Structure 1
């Protein structure tokens, strides 16, 4: 089959999936609230064909054109091919969609690429299953969501202890057909409008908690899979007035597994801690974060250009304080680009023939979320009240109102009132709208807690020997002064 078109994606959503919005069970293909989001995702599938040279390649299995996101990287050439594709995919939404299908596709391709990690499994059948699944997803061009966070409500105790123990996803029965799972998982971004859900390892699990150490994939329409949506932030307005909210609310949902049967051929990890704790840890940085970092760079590039236009529109582009803010954002972009380039040129075989970028790209986890929050703050600072004085594009077409708006709400430096409104509305939708606020929260946590990332960075540095500079300095001082270093 190969890469799909938008209408084929839409056809795939017509099933019996159980999706709840508020107190209403809805059909996502017919509910008016979801219309913009579904149309926006369908356009993503058409977009990959519009940019076929960047986004698609010939499948080694069928010869059909499939997404580059399914590529199992084996060389520097593959790294560059992925870079081009990830950048092109991100430009579809200028980085505002964090969970376009290429994201989980990359995760899955990374997991399958590390053949050496699957040698920890008790049987080769587990690798055969996930390899077959990845091939099927690639050839059918399925849109995947994922759920990997334990549903723990009491953070004062262990995430799988006490009141939390019965909440999160676990094996509760075994049958001839497969395993039966029960519990909840967070947070399935794109979940209500995805084809399938891939449940895979996140943080390590300790001995004694094997029933939680599971990985599998299941259609969103499987009996017992219940998706509970947050409020929807998409709006029924024109793309010119709400470029992001009109089509890019990818929706988040809690997934409740109400005694769901997972067929054996869809079970990839079943209680094997060594395998569970190794798979994502051995792929997330080098494989997945190439995609996430490039998306972030595309978003920063857009934010910088948007800010320059906001400053010009308000006549602030020559003010020293504003120029400093613009330079700050461009510095974030420059650092991001440099780190991506450095990690890509130092790509290597991570094991099993999997060729991933250098894990220094993981440094962006320690700073990227703060940059994204800071960018929104700068947009609000430079845009100020102008972000709220924004007529719609249709208002300019009114015989009575249009001339008044052109006279009283123009931009600086001969920028028309219509263009001024378009720029300011884009800035508000980016940083201040309901969707903009949701995306800011998403940026804070989509690669995990920044605090945990920094702790892991310190521990990694200590393990790799990034210490001893102080001792060396003392020894050098001792040699030059004749005073023992111990002193």
Structure 2
């Protein structure tokens, strides 16, 4: 086993992977300026072993260290500690996932939901990952085409990833996945089904893992968040970036030792859902630093504007605190209510997890409006970094933008709010709140599925039975 450093992680990305950005091939992702911030962002998943070894390092039965992100949960306490690890590393990422969280979610799902040779391969792959301290991206969402039709009903069969050939040693796959976070700066890619499958979809029921430099694999990286930024106007987005890709498989050969599912339509949906069970738990923990930033920024800007004692401001702060702490409470409850799944792998309580995720997503737009309301119009009309860097202009800004605190302190708080919640990064966070780790409708569906109404129904029947019978009229 090994624990890699952040530098070793970055060096490992020099492997000839095929990446397309703004229509051009990227020869070396580690030498490409636009990707520097993204690689540094993901490197927190490695440097946290130095800053927080008590959280980030686990030990096997031989006392050999490995990344705690990949420690298989065997108890509620393991999930409590996983939640703390995710929240802590995502404080460096400012409420955005870093890298290792997602890949480990998929690994746990595979360990729970696979069977037979596929399960044996999953166990061996998990050992390979911890032995080499790999960074994994996850490709789940197919491009889907006409969403009224299933995988095998599409006019173009490649709109869902599928097996096109097979021999004794390998399978060959073709198609594409989308919304693949970190693919351009991960070591390997786990590919799992996006949905349950039906009869005729056998070729689409496939799960496997491959290195990112596998021949036939091409990553078309989204340019979103690509813009020149300075730290005065953009204190967060100038330092944080995620890479998302359209991930195209053009007759990619996968050794059968790396295949976890091949043709089992019944198990395809189980694997998809098993990943979600962990990934939404990750989501509600990685969002906690963002919510802390939301409450902290609201409090500081109200103070800077001299309005913190106003009754309506105190009421707004109460609402923000209640919103944030409700999400945190459900996140903690999900670990406390964990239960043992197949193979002795424990999973967070799906009801509490989806309640947390739904509450976060449903309340986020209103919480953002509240913070912007407290900050004022300077979120959009305030001066920029070039203005502040000019001494003559700065003297004017210091005079006229003073509040209950000096102008620089006030403007930096306002720009932080603008960067987090109103600009490109803020728009990105709003899209994530709506769609990442599942939509609002998907979360409501899981809440309904996870809630056992029978105890409540039985209690009502008991109350009815306790009632004194109405005497019959004579």
TM-score for both structures, normalised by structure 1: 0.88
Residue aligning to 1:19: 19
Q: From the superposition, tell whether residues 133 and 464 of structure 1 become closer, same or farther in structure 2 (CA, over 3 Å).
A: farther
Of 394, 407, 422, the match for 2:412: 422
Matched, 1:434 2:415: no
Residue aligning to 1:289: 280
Is residue 99–residue 189 contact of structure 1 (8 Å, CA) maintained in 2?
no
Q: How does 1:44-443 map to 2 (within 5 A)?
A: 44-60=45-61, 63-95=63-95, 97-112=96-111, 114=112, 117-118=113-114, 121=115, 124-158=116-150, 160-163=152-155, 165-282=157-274, 284-285=276-277, 287-361=278-352, 362-392=354-384, 395-410=387-402, 412-413=403-404, 415-443=405-433
Q: From the superposition, tell whether residues 303 and 213 of structure 1 become closer, same or farther in structure 2 (CA, over 3 Å).
A: same
In the alignment, the residues of structure 1 paired with residue 362 and residue 415 of structure 2 have an alpha-carbon distance, to the nearest angstrom, of: 24
CA distances 1:129-173 after superposition (whole Å, capped 9, x unpaired): 111111211222222111111211223333542335332100001
Deviates more, 1:77-86 or 1:392-401: 392-401
In the alignment, the residues of structure 2 paired with residue 291 and residue 43 of structure 1 have an alpha-carbon distance, to the nearest angstrom, of: 16
Q: In structure 2, list runs of 5 or more residues that go unmatched.
A: none
Partner of 1:418, secondary structure, is helix
Report deviation, 1:314.
Answer: 1.9
CA distances 1:458-487 after superposition (whole Å, capped 9, x unpaired): 34446756546776676667x465589xxx
Report deviation, 1:182.
Answer: 0.3
Paired residues, number: 471
Report deviation, 1:394.
Answer: 6.3
Is residue 197–residue 269 contact of structure 2 (8 Å, CA) maintained in 1?
yes
Q: From the superposition, tell whether residues 156 and 103 of structure 1 become closer, same or farther in structure 2 (CA, over 3 Å).
A: closer
Q: From the superposition, tell whether residues 338 and 454 of structure 1 become closer, same or farther in structure 2 (CA, over 3 Å).
A: same
Deviates more, 1:3-12 or 1:234-243: 234-243
Is residue 103–residue 137 contact of structure 2 (8 Å, CA) maintained in 1?
yes
Partner of 1:150, secondary structure, is coil
Is residue 152–residue 164 contact of structure 1 (8 Å, CA) maintained in 2?
no
In the alignment, the residues of structure 1 paired with residue 33 and residue 333 of structure 2 have an alpha-carbon distance, to the nearest angstrom, of: 45
Q: From the superposition, tell whether residues 399 and 149 of structure 1 become closer, same or farther in structure 2 (CA, over 3 Å).
A: closer
Q: From the superposition, tell whether residues 170 and 188 of structure 1 become closer, same or farther in structure 2 (CA, over 3 Å).
A: same
TM-score for both structures, normalised by structure 2: 0.91
Q: From the superposition, tell whether residues 451 and 77 of structure 1 become closer, same or farther in structure 2 (CA, over 3 Å).
A: closer
Matched, 1:444 2:445: no
In the alignment, the residues of structure 1 paired with residue 454 and residue 24 of structure 2 have an alpha-carbon distance, to the nearest angstrom, of: 53
Is residue 18–residue 25 contact of structure 2 (8 Å, CA) maintained in 1?
yes
Report deviation, 1:427.
Answer: 0.8
CA RMSD of aligned residues (A): 2.6
Is residue 2–residue 65 contact of structure 2 (8 Å, CA) maintained in 1?
yes
In the alignment, the residues of structure 2 paired with residue 466 and residue 176 of structure 1 have an alpha-carbon distance, to the nearest angstrom, of: 53
